[in-house]
Chains A and B, each alone.
Chain A
Amino acid sequence: MAILLPLMLMLVFVFILGGAMDVSDAANASETRNAYLSYVLPAIALTTAGFGASYTAVVVSNDMTTGFMNRLRTMPFPSITVLLGHTVSSMARNLLATAVVVASAFALGFRTDSSALELVAAVGLIALWILVITVVFATLGMVAGSAESASGYGFILLFLPYVSSGFAPVESMPGWLQGFAQHQPMTPIIDASRALLNGDPVGSSWWIGTIWCAGFFAIAIWLIAVIFPRRVAR
């Protein structure tokens, strides 16, 4: 699943929509497709990683609502280390998915003239987003009543990137959507990673994206610190 989803998205967007999505002033369909590939690349990476990270809500909720966390709480080590373990495994899983996305983009003809440093920065930004989403979903999993309801939250993450600059330029959307699309957290992160991946100037989007991430991260950690010790399964 973690490997299949990015591949499917990649193929759908590049081959089915790519020829019709004119995000540059390309001369023919094949050039249009290639231009769109470099345009959607960060959105596909963030969508799959975000969706993969949302699975953390399910595993955390499972631990919280079965007797597992209760048993850990009666063992002589801090039970919060289990949340840390889930975060690490989410990072590992989703960075792998990101690598698959980037590798398949190259296979489909993606080329870039950005420096190694810029590529590392792009991956770093994507990794930061994965971390934040993982922690946010760990928080949701902690308060969800059951693993089933926790899995429902992953859905939100599938839609958020479509209402951003990820798949189509914000200017092409109807006016009432533009406000949200321009100011939601994924847009600056996608803009910044796109610029970094394509060797374009990054502008202010990278730090706006980073502030969003830092904000979400801080709130989620604070909620975990407050709620986790009190949340004992009945």
Chain B
Amino acid sequence: MSYTDSPLLEISGLSKSYGKHDVLKNLNLTLPPGIHALLGPNGAGKTTLINVLSTLIPHDSGEIRVLGLDTRRDKKRIQGLISLTGQYAAVDGQLSGMENMLMMGRLFGLSRRDAVRRSQALLERFDLTAAMNKRVSTYSGGMRRKLDIAASLIADPLLIFLDEPTTGLDTRSRQALWDEIQALAAHGTSIFLTTQYLEEADVLADRIMVLHDGRIVAEGTASQLKERIGGSTIQVHDQAGRVIKEISTSGEATDVAHHISAIAQHQPEVAVTVRRPTLDEVFLELTGAPASQESDTEGAQT
């Protein structure tokens, strides 16, 4: 059986609780190969879901197939095809970047020669060659993340799980990591990542799933999600560019034209723009809570 013929992930009736706390509630999902983003606020259950999918922790009920293999029956075979990069780095600060890579390679049973060759190639791909003999404790957050992901690729997995890969990184490192993730996907590696940042999901993912309170409340491409709310907003600006009025419309040409000609008659001096909803507004609509704004504030420190 070829793994690539099966869906990447098939989840049916997945539930998981910690004691009385139901963290994942009857999830159903089928995903093709590609980049998928699980978007949700803190505490939504993202880490729990990624840990269950990557065979780290068992689920309570339901069925999960990863690359066509059942997580309960074929755990070892799945483990040979995937890798997990958790929220906290899995690299050893006392070792150099190269030593970390080699340790992973040896753990995976590569020969010393293969481990060296593969490590060099990955370190180069992630732009870490210059620092590969330095201790990891001297690395920046972005470099550590890259090394962590590079180490997870040592056995050439078909699917990698990334739990909040850019949380805590500055804007530049985040952008660099996005480029790496997109390059990985171009190589044919499928990626399942979690994020609190709408922008990240929008930029990276083929498909976005919005997880809220243990349920997937929406799923689709970024533009499909934006369409779900439907409509557009007409904004009326004064000469200084300030928004003085907002009018909701269905977005259809006749409706928009009707509103704008009314404005033109009464206030010919103002400017108007028509705006589609942002993913932020979609998120607010779906979850009743604003998305994390951390990406904007935190990124300011460069």
Contacts and interface: CB of A to CB of B under 8 A. Distances in A.
Interface of A: 62, 65-68, 70-77, 232-234
Contacts of A62: 92
Given A74-B79, A76-B80, A232 B57 contact: yes
Given A232-B56, A234-B47, A74 B89 contact: no
Given A71-B152, A232-B51, A234-B47, A76 B79 contact: yes
Interface of B: 47, 51, 54-57, 76-77, 79-80, 82-92, 107-109, 148, 152
Contacts of B79: 74-76
Contacts of A233: 86, 88
B107 A77 contact: yes
Given A65-B88, A70-B90, A234-B47, 17 more contacts: A62-B92, A66-B89, A66-B90, A67-B84, A68-B90, A70-B51, A70-B56, A71-B83, A71-B84, A72-B107, A73-B55, A73-B56, A74-B54, A75-B108, A76-B80, A77-B109, A233-B86
A77 B75 CA distance: 11
9 contacts: A65-B88, A67-B86, A70-B56, A70-B84, A71-B85, A73-B55, A73-B56, A74-B79, A76-B80
A31 to B, nearest CB: 46
Given A75-B108, A232-B51, A68 B56 contact: no
A74 B90 CA distance: 12
A24 B109 CA distance: 58
Contacts of B83: 71, 74-75
A74 B83 CA distance: 7
Nearest to B163: A67
Nearest to B87: A67
Contacts of A77: 107, 109
A175 B136 CA distance: 53
A216 B140 CA distance: 42
Contacts of B87: 67
Nearest to B161: A74
Nearest first, the 3 closest Cβ-Cβ pairs linking A and B are A67-B86, A67-B90, A76-B79
A74 B55 contact: yes
B100 to A, nearest CB: 10
A46 B83 CA distance: 42
Contacts of A71: 83-86, 90, 152
Contacts of B54: 74
Contacts of B55: 73-74
A120 to B, nearest CB: 33
B185 to A, nearest CB: 20
A62 B109 CA distance: 23
Contacts of B76: 76
B232 to A, nearest CB: 42
Contacts of A70: 51, 56, 84, 86, 90
A173 to B, nearest CB: 41
B84 A74 contact: yes
Contacts of A73: 55-56
A33 B100 CA distance: 49
A88 B89 CA distance: 25
A65 B54 CA distance: 18
Contacts of B56: 70, 73-74, 232
Contacts of A75: 79, 83, 107-108
A30 to B, nearest CB: 45
A59 to B, nearest CB: 9
Given A71-B83, A74-B54, A66 B108 contact: no
